[in-house]
């Protein structure tokens, strides 16, 4: 598994590694609430979310 965080360099890399280890070994992060990152958050999106975000020119049917 590879995790990367652009532009934060050495500052958050140890914390990211620790969080990933917690998630893999224990199924939950021991020091932060990661529940807001659940895939279920995408279930509430409206069908036209692409246009609502102003992503004009993106062909969502492709």
Q: Which two tokens stand for residue 1?
A: 């598994």
pLDDT in tens, 9-62: 677 778 888 888 999 999 999 998 988 888 888 888 888 888 888 887 655 555
SS3 1: coil
Residue ranges per structural domain of the chain? 9-34
Residues 6+ apart with CB under 8 A from 50: 58, 60
Confidence (pTM): 0.52
pLDDT class of 3 with cuts at 50, 70, 90: low
Running DSSP on this structure, what letter comes out for residue 19? H
């Amino acid at each position: 598994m590879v995790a990367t965080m652009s532009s934060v360099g050495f500052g958050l890399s140890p914390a990211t590694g620790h969080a990933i280890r917690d998630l893999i070994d224990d199924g939950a992060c021991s020091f932060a609430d990661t529940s807001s990152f659940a895939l279920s958050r995408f279930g509430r999106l409206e069908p036209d979310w692409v246009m609502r975000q102003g992503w004009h020119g993106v062909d969502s049917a492709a």
